[in-house]
């Protein structure tokens, strides 16, 4: 892709309506555009990042044994009423089928799905007849809607967002526990591959009406919305909502000794995933059962596992950026290399730039080529803002010496490399 043909452009200034770092940088760099509070449009560069994140998630969920499906976003009232959440879930968008707009006194009979337990439980139960059909795991990656009263923080808290929601179905608690532990490992792999593994903690939180505890994956950053308490020398933490429960703290801290709770380390963090042991919370209302080995009907045991790709994208920006812009890990970057032509219009420089663009593409190195007639300062600033992992700089001085300059965005290190050696620099050959 050539930057001169990209539909978007960078901006020097951030909108006053964008207060979070991820929203400011993503908007300035032309990755996303704000339509209204809590709703963003993903532009070409942003969509490439989002797609890469979703593909990483998809690969890890498939490796875990998940089968991808796609369920409707528009839901009837009945399944939500059956679980009691039609009247109690405050973020549920409720609609009327008589025109869609809910006027005073109009009965609502539709909803936009913020989650899919009410839909997936009867769906899968319809295919489960005996213990031989279990365990089974399904997931989807889909746009969801939540009626957030105060959407804020860019991609971290929105009314419309992307979500991977996975659901597991089991014959007993032990089988659920085993899969749940394997899901924790799979989640850790996702965060590692997205560049956040060393700062993301498994965090104990309230299980609500489902179980004693749920687990969140919290990424440490001074800009986080949540407060968590890290257990020293571990990758575990406790959410603020339960840290005051001494019985819970005693249960969670490995090898607890009196006074250990005073050693907990307070941090700000961004929640980038959560998992729950639902047990029979949703199978009971829908009569979701299976026949066991003795011919008895038993309730299906369930778990649910959420992760927001768009939220994860925002978290990466919050954690991996500097004063100049974003710093994408290679695994999720929209392009691996930013190729900068310092003298567009000079035939020899143009020829070398075009040649390198083609040669990099031929070995699978995706490149964003800045062929614009802008000053070198503008080009360097824009490329830093865009945050591509590598910059390759082509200009008359280097051409005269037979070299190009290569800059690593993460640490700013620069080196001159011969034109002939450039490809092996990226392939390791």
DSSP letters spanning 342-358: SSTT-HHHHHHHHHHHH
Instruction: Give residue limits of the domains in the chain.
Output: 3-73+116-322, 75-112, 337-427
Neighbours of 296 (CB within 10 A): 9
Residue 429 has a pLDDT of 59
| pLDDT confidence of residue 343 | 95
pLDDT value at residue 14: 77
Question: How many residues are recorded in the chain?
Answer: 429
Q: What pLDDT shows up at residue 18? A: 78
| Domain 3-73+116-322: CATH architecture, name and number where available | 2-Layer Sandwich (3.30)
For residues 180 and 305, give the distance between their C-alpha atoms in angstroms, rounded to a whole number. Answer: 9
Strand order in the sheet with 110-112: 74-76, 110-112, 93-95
Distance of alpha carbon 412 from alpha carbon 132, whole angstroms: 56
* pTM across the whole model: 0.94
Instruction: Calculate mean pLDDT across residues 380-401.
Output: 96
Enumerate the β-bridge partners of residue 219: 200, 270
Please give the average per-residue pLDDT across 187-199, as a whole number: 97
Beta-bridge partners for 394:
341
Decide: helix, strand or coil at residue 26.
helix
What number does CATH give the domain 337-427? 3.40.50.800
> What sign does the dihedral 26-27-30-34 (CA atoms) show?
positive
Mean pLDDT of 116-134: 98
């Amino acid at each position: 892709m050539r930057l001169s043909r990209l539909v978007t452009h960078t901006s020097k200034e951030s909108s006053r309506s964008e207060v979070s770092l991820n929203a400011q940088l993503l908007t300035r760099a032309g990755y996303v555009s704000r339509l209204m509070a809590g709703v963003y449009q993903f532009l070409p560069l942003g969509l490439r990042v989002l797609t890469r994140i979703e593909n990483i998630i998809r690969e890890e969920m498939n490796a875990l044994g998940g089968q991808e499906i796609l369920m409707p976003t528009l839901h009837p009232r009945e399944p939500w009423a059956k679980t009691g959440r039609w009247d109690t879930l405050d973020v549920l968008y409720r609609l009327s089928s008589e025109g869609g707009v809910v006027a005073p006194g109009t009965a609502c009979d539709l909803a936009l799905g913020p989650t899919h337990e009410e839909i997936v439980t009867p769906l899968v139960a319809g295919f489960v007849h005996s213990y031989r059909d279990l365990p089974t795991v399904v997931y989807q990656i889909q746009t969801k809607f939540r009626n957030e009263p105060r959407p804020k923080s860019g991609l971290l808290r929105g009314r419309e967002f992307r979500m991977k929601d996975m659901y597991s179905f089991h014959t007993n608690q032990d089988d659920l526990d085993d899969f749940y532990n394997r899901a924790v490992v799979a989640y850790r792999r996702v965060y590692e591959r997205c560049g956040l593994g060393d700062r993301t903690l498994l965090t104990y939180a309230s299980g609500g009406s489902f179980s004693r505890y749920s687990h969140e994956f919290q990424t440490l950053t001074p800009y986080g919305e949540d407060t968590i308490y890290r257990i020293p020398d571990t990758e575990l933490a406790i959410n603020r909502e339960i840290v005051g429960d001494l019985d819970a703290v005693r249960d969670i801290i490995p090898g607890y000794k009196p006074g250990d709770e005073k050693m907990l380390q307070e941090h700000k963090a961004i929640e980038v995933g959560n998992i729950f042991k639902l047990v029979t919370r949703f199978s009971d209302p829908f009569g979701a059962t299976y026949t066991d080995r003795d011919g008895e009907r038993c309730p299906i045991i369930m778990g649910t596992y959420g992760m927001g790709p768009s939220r994860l994208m925002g978290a990466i920006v919050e954690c991996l950026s500097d004063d100049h812009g974003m710093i994408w890990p290679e695994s999720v970057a929209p392009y691996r290399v930013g190729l900068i032509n310092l003298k567009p219009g000079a035939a020899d420089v143009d020829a070398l730039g075009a040649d390198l663009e083609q040669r990099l593409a031929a070995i699978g190195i995706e490149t964003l080529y800045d062929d614009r007639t802008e000053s070198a300062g503008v080009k360097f600033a824009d490329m830093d803002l865009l945050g591509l992992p590598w910059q390759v700089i082509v200009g008359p001085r280097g051409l005269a010496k037979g070299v190009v300059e290569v800059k690593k965005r993460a640490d700013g290190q620069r080196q001159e490399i011969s034109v002939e050696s450039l490809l092996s620099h990226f392939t390791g050959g």
